[in-house]
Structure 1
Amino acid sequence: MMDRESIETLKEINHHKQEEYCTTRPAYRQGRKLTAVKVYTINNESQHLYIYGVPQINLRKELKNLCTKYGEVFSINLVSDVKREIFTECFHIHYKRIQSARVAKRLLDAKSFYGGLLHICYAPECESVLETKAKLAQRKRDVLNRLHKK
């Protein structure tokens, strides 16, 4: 268990903070559930995800089972050096494909999990240089394919 001082010295990265829900959209633009307004570029997206809000009751196996529904998982690791709520844990999930991470993020964010509310965010800082190059090359191929289909 960590004391209060060590929790305050943990790193906190701006793009990991959960944004407030947007309540100023016109009714015709508002979907069925409230969402935050956040723009992602290909550089912000990643096959690496941080999952915050997992209750601290040894749920690694259950979390892995939940995440494998959306695609093949390379690894799942406990992250100890990030700022988080008391009695919760943060996990780093590494998916094989970036599309799996996109789907998992969209469907798992703000979902209840064993009494805790999950917060999912991309973790591009965990990518290697080769993973980043592959991600950008894949995006380029996808865009070129879409342009040639027209």
Structure 2
Amino acid sequence: MENQRVRLSKALLKEALVRLLETKPLDKITIYELCAEAQINRTTFYKYYGSQGDVLKDIENELFAMLETHLVESVKGDEESLASVLRCLDMEQRKFLVLVNATPDQQFSERFTPISMPACSATAATTRGSTSACFCAKAATPSCARG
């Protein structure tokens, strides 16, 4: 288990990377720039990560773990569990959109689509087939809206 200082350092680096990814692609972000944005020493960065891509993968894994937790609840099919998934996505919308745009070769979108399909289908069923209510459309995965 990570202590509070480690969690804080990683959180600062992840937030800094998200901010930087809103303005430039991952391959244009230097470790120096990321550390300056996070106000963390480069030695601290290398203690936890090997590259900017490692930080991005950590953000992705964290978001998927959270989403999967909410999706397990949504399989019940009740409105409250589905609302929980939607709230989760809404709260993390910025990170999801940054990941969709920052991940090379659509890897994030491809990983997102299979786990979102059951919940998307449930959403469409509860909204009488309206694909506009499909939460995964918010994350720029149009293939889900067709499912």
If the length of structure 2 is used for normalisation, what is the TM-score?
0.28
If the length of structure 1 is used for normalisation, what is the TM-score?
0.28
Structure showing the higher strand proportion among its residues: 1
Structure showing the higher helix proportion among its residues: 2
Which structure has more RCO (C-alpha within 8 Å, separation ≥ 6)? 1
